[in-house]
Amino acid sequence: MLAGVAAGLARYFDLDVAVVRVALVVLVFVGGVGIPLYGAAWLLVPEEGSEATVAGDLLEHLRAA
């Protein structure tokens, strides 16, 4: 819901989005690994129909500055 990570993963793996969201919540409460995993996916997985990632756009912006 925040960055579309769960929806994108659900679409890619052909799963129900609720299953992916529940899995991420479980990972948050079991060792806290869900938070960095979600953040990494948000930064490194490009939006649908795009080849640019959030991290790539950020690095490009920092190089131009």
Phi and psi at residue 53, to the nearest 5°: -105, 165
Q: Which residue has the higher pLDDT, 17 or 64?
A: 17
pLDDT attached to residue 14: 95
> Domain boundaries in the chain?
5-64
What are 7-39's pLDDT values in tens digits? 988 988 999 999 999 999 999 999 899 999 999
